[in-house]
Structure 1
Amino acid sequence: MSSPATWSIEPHTQAKHDLLRFYLNAWFPILSSGRNQHVIFLDGFAGPGIYTGGEPGSPIIALETLIRHSHFPRMSQTEFTFIFIEKDPSCYQSLKDQLADFWSLSGGKPNNIYVHSINDEFRNVAEQIATSALGTLAPTLAFIDPFGWSGVPMTTIRDLLSSRKCEVLFNFAYDSVNRFVGEEAPSVAHHFAELFGTTGTEYQDASRLAADDRKVFLRDLYVDKLREVGGFSFVKPFEVINQSRGRTAYFLVFGTRNPTGFDRMKGAMWRVDPEYGCRYSGEEDNQLSLFSRAPQLSPLKAALRDRFAGSTIVVKRLEEYVVEETDYTTTHYKRVLKELEDEGLMSCVSGRKKRGTYPPGAVLHFEP
């Protein structure tokens, strides 16, 4: 029996879609405001475009985020290409139907938007695009969201997104990987070697670890390989818990070569997880709280003191450290700096006109 074309959405899937939507909301205007005349969004496992409750799938979310963006009227000089890949025939047909309905309800497709729906496997299409582009692909965000761990080689991601302005949001299906990572059968081991981009079987070391250590090991291995093999300078995972099963479903792993894109994605993660910016647990969905979930900034405060104790540093360099080497964003560090200054642990030496402000050129001194 064939699988149904649509299925019900789960809370952790909704969280994944929220993260994608939040990032695209920042990504589209940033890319279209520069010299980029062509921008690509690629969905490697596009699905049917809708869930049984009527919730939109990722292709519709991406299109909707663009055309309903308040800045979209100013993006008329940029061509937006959407590539939706789906290998299942029934899901593909459903996707085509949903796209037709979407444009009908939206009053037609804008002239600067191009949509290509492809009934094939992600790997096949990605390799074809990589071969034709030869490292010159237009700025691209590839959302790669497989159901398991096969058909998504690290080398394919590397070759497809080798251009400097390309980024990836990858669903590292930890729950599925964890169940099979110790399997030594060649048919399985081959796919894991491709997934991690390894020539050996170092991933099998995970099977000898306790549950929590195994999760960290596999997560870090994929993150490291996305840097080393994939070629992305900045990589960050976001853990997503399946609350109904009480365990980690997957890590959404973002890779980019651009610190601004990295900061914006971390901002999107903080919107999904307002306390720590790194994990969706689902617990907050079932709680009625009188208190908002505020960012927990004490780890950043401790990190700044440890890193810069006894040092004098320009704010711009401190900001680079926060963006590139911590879980925090440019929206967080100034609140922490004010606390440190109020407590006498940091002072501003020069470069500002008003206390409590920290412009990029201001010079700060941290007490030992």
Structure 2
Amino acid sequence: MGSVNGEGTMGVLWKLELATAAKHRLYQRYLDAWWPILLQTNQRTGYAFPRVTLLDAFAGPGRYEGKEPGSPVFILDRLLNHHAVERMNLSRSRVHLVFIERAPARYAHLVSELVAVFGPLEDLPVRVEVRRGEAGKDSLPILTELGAWGNPILGIFDSWGSVNVPLEVMAKIARNWSSEVITTFGPNWFSRREELNADFPDTVFGGRGFWTPATDEARPDERWRAWLGTYRDALKRAGFGYQLQCQHLYLVFGTGSEAGLRAMKDAMWKVDGPSRSG
């Protein structure tokens, strides 16, 4: 999570920033709740989802300069070592983890890092797919290839730079059963946004009329709130019945599930405090 768009801006590895570490704690807390909700058999109905897919669309190289684990490593580790793992009925046909990384050097490092930590990926009790590609262009085809549609998907779109995933990708996930998305804005997004062709945010927010009002916010300390609120509205139009934003972490969450909403609120509260989300 948190890969840089293109190469040359950073090397293969980079320093783990405090804001990124806080986001990782949020993801960990949320996933600790999400995995058992989705993978355990419902005690009341006796039903279990036949397949669950997690997509980390900006996966990064798997490690930071200080040796801290990247999101693919801690996501897989916390799943395989979850306290409820014996009740989750893990199998390679049922649980898919998809990690997409655009940059060739970081993709290669991610593959080697996962193998170094977990051994041959084909021997794991869940299916792990590491793909080279672009989040906006390749997420939907990969999900289709893996047969993810019709069962729960969690899409994590955590880029370091521009929010560059078309809203139609979010809408497709929103229409899918019991699915959710987490999208983050990079800390330099606002300054970079002003350099972009207006057609670019049109695809992200669903049209010029939806995002241009946010450009009128003159107070620097309120700009992030305006843009996060604008994207939160976009996820609502995409079809997510519930949306949360976390100002401090530049993060927006969309879900159609009350259970997912409660789990994310709890994770945000524990990581960032009550004054930062809503």
Native 8 Å contact 2:58 2:135 kept in 1: yes
The answer on 1:194 being equivalent to 2:203 is yes
Deviations 1:308-367 (A, max 9, x none): xxxxxxxxxxxxxxxxxxx5xxxxxxxxxxxxxxxxxxxxxxxxxxxxxxxxxxxxxxxx
Q: What is the CA-CA distance between 1:217 and the residue it aligns to?
A: 2.0
The answer on 1:100 being equivalent to 2:120 is no
Normalising by structure 1, we get a TM-score of 0.66
User: What is the letter of the counterpart of residue 57 of structure 1?
Assistant: G
Q: CA separation of 1:77/1:197 partners in 2, compared to 1, >3 Å: closer, same or farther? A: same
Quick one: distance in 2 between partners of 1:14 and 1:256? Answer: 23
Q: What is the CA-CA distance between 1:23 and the residue it aligns to?
A: 0.4
Q: What is the CA-CA distance between 1:84 and the residue it aligns to?
A: 0.3
**1:255 counterpart SS class:** strand
Q: CA separation of 1:271/1:208 partners in 2, compared to 1, >3 Å: closer, same or farther? A: closer
RMSD: 2.6
Q: What is the CA-CA distance between 1:24 and the residue it aligns to?
A: 0.4
Q: What is the CA-CA distance between 1:47 and the residue it aligns to?
A: 0.1
User: What is the letter of the counterpart of residue 37 of structure 1?
Assistant: P
User: What is the letter of the counterpart of residue 179 of structure 1?
Assistant: S
Given candidates 220, 242, 246, the residue that maps to 1:234 is 242
Quick one: distance in 1 between partners of 2:261 and 2:79? Answer: 20
Native 8 Å contact 2:53 2:97 kept in 1: yes
Which runs of 5 or more residues in structure 1 are unaligned? 241-249, 280-326, 328-368
Q: What is the CA-CA distance between 1:91 and the residue it aligns to?
A: 0.3
5 Å-filtered alignment, 1:29-68, equals 29-34=36-41, 35-68=48-81
Native 8 Å contact 2:205 2:234 kept in 1: yes
Native 8 Å contact 2:104 2:132 kept in 1: yes
User: What is the letter of the counterpart of residue 84 of structure 2?
Assistant: H
The answer on 1:22 being equivalent to 2:29 is yes
Native 8 Å contact 1:130 1:160 kept in 2: no
* Higher RCO structure, 1 or 2 (CA under 8 Å, sep 6+): 2
User: What is the letter of the counterpart of residue 99 of structure 1?
Assistant: L
Quick one: distance in 2 between partners of 1:56 and 1:77? Answer: 23
**1:188 counterpart SS class:** coil
Native 8 Å contact 1:38 1:139 kept in 2: yes
**1:236 counterpart SS class:** strand
Deviations 1:41-94 (A, max 9, x none): 100000000011111000011101101111101212552100000010000011
Corresponding residue pairs, total: 263
Deviations 1:177-234 (A, max 9, x none): 3214445xxx521111112122447426524522234333212111111111x21011
**1:55 counterpart SS class:** coil
* Percent of aligned positions that are identical: 30
The answer on 1:276 being equivalent to 2:277 is no
Q: CA separation of 1:135/1:116 partners in 2, compared to 1, >3 Å: closer, same or farther? A: closer
**2:133 counterpart SS class:** coil
Given candidates 196, 217, 221, the residue that maps to 2:226 is 217
5 Å-filtered alignment, 1:159-178, equals 159-173=172-186, 175-178=187-190
Quick one: distance in 2 between partners of 1:77 and 1:92? Answer: 26
Deviations 1:257-301 (A, max 9, x none): 00011000111111102x41626xxxxxxxxxxxxxxxxxxxxxx
Quick one: distance in 2 between partners of 1:150 and 1:191? Answer: 10
Q: CA separation of 1:268/1:105 partners in 2, compared to 1, >3 Å: closer, same or farther? A: farther
Given candidates 97, 100, 113, the residue that maps to 1:82 is 97
Identify the residue that residue 44 of structure 2 maps to in structure 1: none
Native 8 Å contact 1:149 1:195 kept in 2: no
Quick one: distance in 2 between partners of 1:181 and 1:95? Answer: 29
Q: CA separation of 1:115/1:17 partners in 2, compared to 1, >3 Å: closer, same or farther? A: same
The answer to which of 160-169 and 138-147 deviates more is: 160-169
Identify the residue that residue 351 of structure 1 maps to in structure 2: none
